[in-house]
Amino acid sequence: MNGLTKENVLAALHSVRDPDLHKDIVSLNFIKDVVITGKDVSFSIELTTPACPVRDQMKAEAEQAIRGSIQGIRAVTITMTSMVSSRVSAQPQALLPRVKNTIAVASGKGGVGKSTVAVNLAVALARDGAHVGLIDCDVYGPSIPLMLDIKEKPTMHNQKLLPLEKFGLKVMSIGFLVDPTQAVIWRGPMASGAVRQFMSDVEWGELDYLIFDMPPGTGDIQLTLVQQIPLTGAVIVTTPQEISLADARKGMAMFTKVNVPILGVIENMSYFICSHCGERENIFDAGGGRRAAEELKVPFLGEIPIDTNIRVGGDTGRPIVEADPASPQSKIITDIARGLAAQISIKNLSEAGAPSLDISLNNN
């Protein structure tokens, strides 16, 4: 290919494909602001999420494609940007009109580390540059205030509560509003009403992702909540053993009945790495989450190990992805968060009328 022209640049970039969306980056309209000056070219690649798991790979492939196709080129300057895609069902009069995507993090039973996963996913997405909110939907056992070490009370502005902020997140929990030593003794409709108010009566502003840390189980409260929340999709957290997987399948069945897509399964407390010998121990069995995901034909987002530092982060209010972002555990969680963001982009593009897309993650 001869000559440095915009047409030749775009023709070269047709060879670069998004591995999750299965289309080339020109057809996806990712290429913006192509500027040619002499033998130099600059442009932006606008992704569907700042948490794209292949952003660096895509940038390198784009430069390689141009240099390999156009003769005599000198400098190639590529700026990576993002514009998070929104759920197609969003309407101006919706309950959360300025929130692009809403994700429920749920489990069929308690004790699987769902809140720990929700908090770390939220912080990981925020660290990648997304605007993220987090709602603690567990009215009876709110844990988010402790996990983020937030002791302040929310204030009012223009007759709306202002969410508290920590680690780049906007956060709301019933734990901010009630005495932490007192039990919340409410019937289901009152608990559901409180969570609805966290959506309608809180000034969330513009958000790319609003994550709902759901209460465990599949009872009346959970069903009412998922019917009221305009969800983009749900993430199921489980542990590997069969008793947990049985409850996880019930949770997925609940979301399916109310037409909420399953964005993926996360296996928490998946294995333990001995700090002395480095040997892996599958304390709660192995591979159950992946098998359940394959059985139900939903994405498997990844495995999170049992690790003391993850537990300490929850107890001290500094999630591990914030306290030690370079640790192996943080990298695992960050990869899972990026995989989740990719699944949301796939879903939104599919709903927008694009060709059918493969839901399998490119790194699994």
- Model confidence pLDDT, tens digit, residues 144-173: 999 999 999 999 999 999 999 999 999 999
Token pair of 3 as six digits:
């000559």
| Non-local CB neighbours of 178 within 8 Å, separated by 6+ positions | 184
Q: Distance (Å, rounded) from C-alpha 21 to C-alpha 185?
A: 46
**Cα distances (Å, whole numbers) of residue 258 to 211, 234, 237, 325, 348:** 18, 11, 19, 37, 18
10 Å CB burial of residue 237 (0-12, 13-18, 19+) is buried
Three-state SS for 191? helix
Q: Distance (Å, rounded) from C-alpha 127 to C-alpha 132?
A: 10
Token pair of 154 as six digits:
């929310």
Q: Give the tens place of pLDDT for each residue, 321-361.
A: 999 999 999 999 999 999 999 999 999 988 775 443 343 44
In the predicted structure, residue 5 carries a pLDDT above the cut 70 = yes
Q: Give the tens place of pLDDT for each residue, 131-141.
A: 999 999 988 88
Three-state SS for 4? coil
Q: Give the tens place of pLDDT for each residue, 252-284.
A: 888 888 889 999 999 998 877 777 777 777 776
Bridge partners (DSSP) listed for residue 42: 35, 77
Q: Where are the alpha helices (DSSP H) in the chain?
A: 6-13, 55-69, 114-127, 144-147, 188-200, 220-228, 242-257, 288-296, 308-316, 320-323, 328-351
Q: Distance (Å, rounded) from C-alpha 359 to C-alpha 179?
A: 44
Three-state SS for 121? helix
Which residue's structure tokens are 């992946």?
290
Q: In what order do the strands lie in the sheet with 40-47?
A: 31-37, 40-47, 76-82
Which residue's structure tokens are 């979301």?
255
> Helix crossing, 6-13 with 55-69: angle to 10°?
130
Domains of the chain: 6-82 (3.30.300.130), 99-351 (3.40.50.300)
pTM above the 0.85 mark? Answer: yes
Q: Give the tens place of pLDDT for each residue, 183-227.
A: 777 777 788 888 888 988 999 999 999 999 998 877 777 777 787
Q: Which amino acid is at 339?
A: G
**Cα distances (Å, whole numbers) of residue 298 to 157, 302, 309:** 41, 12, 30
| Per-position b or e across 55-89, b if 16+ CB within 10 A of its CB | beebbebbbebbeebbeebeebebebebebbbbee
DSSP 8-class letter at 306:
B
